[in-house]
Structure 1
Amino acid sequence: MNDDIHEPAAAYALGAVDDIERASFERHLRTCERCRAEVASYDEAVLSLATSAPEVAPPPSLKASVMAALPPQEPSDRRTAPRTAPARPWLTRTRVLVAAAAVAVLAVIGVGVAQPWQQPTSVAALSPAERVRLSADAQQHTAAVGDARLVVTTSRSAGAATVQTERMPDAPKGHVYQAWFLDAAGTPRSAGIMTGAQPQLLQGTPGASLAVTVEPTGGSAAPTTAPVVRVSLV
């Protein structure tokens, strides 16, 4: 089995991944019990240290020690050395080692101060939208809107859904995008005003489909325009 797919767990738990890597690894987490358990174990270790250890200032030598442990980086010269993109299906091994080293450093010195790279990863600390997206029974439903894409993630166990847009143009001035759950008969029920490209928890229990309309700022009690996109959720 290729273990590279599991490597980002430590880096993900400490927030040491970019948005693309985070989204990719979260899709992997939905189907990998091993990684969910590993992420939870890192989280428990960090939270335990944060709540039990006294607050102390990190020693001045900490940064130097961590930097000294990193593999040496070859200087680049743009005039003589062409840059090539590293092959990284998930994350480079160096960043995984750095993330693991960060956990080890915390364990050794017992630091109880908040760290800028620390992000909530336990189930209790996840946002409602993240809980839906990481549910074991999460299902994605997509629809194209020209060059843009609408992604709705539903979870029967959570009884909820999230919406995310990719490359969606802004709504006209003085208007917003509003999501609607439609039942089998097509009756609409507001699922909330869409606030941006980040995953957003929709209001209420998912229906048979979801539609998005353009409404005046503040939203409407019922759709006033034809849907710009509609996606089936069954």
Structure 2
Amino acid sequence: MTEVHHEDVAAYALGLLSEEERAAFERHLKSCGSCAGEVGSFAAMGELIRGVHPDDLLPHQPEPQVESLLVRRAAAERRRRRVNRTFTTAAACLVVAAGVFVAVGSVTGEPNPDSIHSPAAALLMTGRTYTVTDPASGVTSVVGLEDKGWGTHVALELKGVKGPLQCRLLAVGDDGRSEVVASWGVPGKGYGVPGSPDPLLLHGGTSLNQDELNHFTIQTVDGRILATVAV
């Protein structure tokens, strides 16, 4: 049985865990409120270091006080698995330098179909979720919600859609008010279909609070409804 440690939340967010370890940690998240609360903040680190090459970091040694204790411990746990120490150090520095980006970037609504460690994926794991498959379009949608001081953080997973399409996600309140949560383009190969099995993952926000929400609508820009998710 794979042993799980609380400090593995950083390694999970960075994508440093093996498949078996990741599965074990995801089971742990379901019963650990502390880790579940932290994973959303750490999830964006993996996205931040995508464009960082290790050679860019070699000339500069980080100050001891800016390196995250959590990431240091995670790196130590993974040394025996031959994890590259340079990437872990880079992530620690980026957490300090880009803390505001992590907090604000979580509601940009940028599509992220290729990362299981994105903020959208984290929210779909830890937030309140609603799933529906539209019988007409065949599109399967999962909406995840999280309360914020400014409204509601929203994540979307979309499968069974082919393009090319221009789409948007609308949040609709009990009073009929609607807001655009996010908009995106679907390429010809689509998402979550044969030949292109990965789902679309994206996230955004609405000023409507969860108790004010009635449903979400996924539609094309010309008004064709792909799915309606009641909440």
Give me the TM-score of the superposition, normalised by structure 1. Answer: 0.49
TM-score, normalised via structure 2 length: 0.49
The structure that is helix-richer by fraction is 2
Which protein is richer in strand relative to its size? 2
Larger Rg: 1
